[in-house]
Amino acid sequence: MSVIFIESINNYLQNNVSLYAPIDVGLLTEPPEAIAIKLVPSRPGTKYFKGETQAVQFQFSTKSQNQMKALQTIDDIKNSLDNLRDTKLSGVYLSKCEVYTQPHHIDITSKYEYIYSAIFSAEYEEE
């Protein structure tokens, strides 16, 4: 269930946002420029007679030695996903998606790579 959602969000962003690296699932990878998505704890979905609406929270992280590139990309992701409602994505119907935690600085690695992050909350139904 969550795999389809992650794939749908990845496809949506690759078609709507200029990304400097592919989106990895899980942790940020070793190259100096990386983008990652991972699921974070969230409340259970709501069960209805016809089916179930899944509730999910997920985090995007960006990493780059160019601080402005990492910050601009996480901001572009936020602008693309925040307030996205009633949208059919590949494999899911997205009821709503909202930013839960605004883009923010996380860390600077020992290799001077800047890491930024934002957390989103969404509700969806599988098709």
Give the pLDDT score at 2. 81
pLDDT class for 1, splitting at 50, 70, 90? low
Give residue-wise pLDDT tens across range 72-113: 999 999 999 999 999 999 889 999 999 999 999 999 999 999
Distances from the Cα of 19 to the Cα of 31, 55, 92, 123, 125, angstroms: 15, 26, 22, 24, 27
Structure tokens at 77: 């992701």
Listed by start position, the domains of the chain span 2-126
pTM (2 d.p.): 0.91
CA 104 to chain centre: 14
The CATH architecture of the domain made up of 2-126 is 2-Layer Sandwich (3.30)
Which residues, 6+ apart, have CB-to-CB distance to 50 below 8 Å?
none
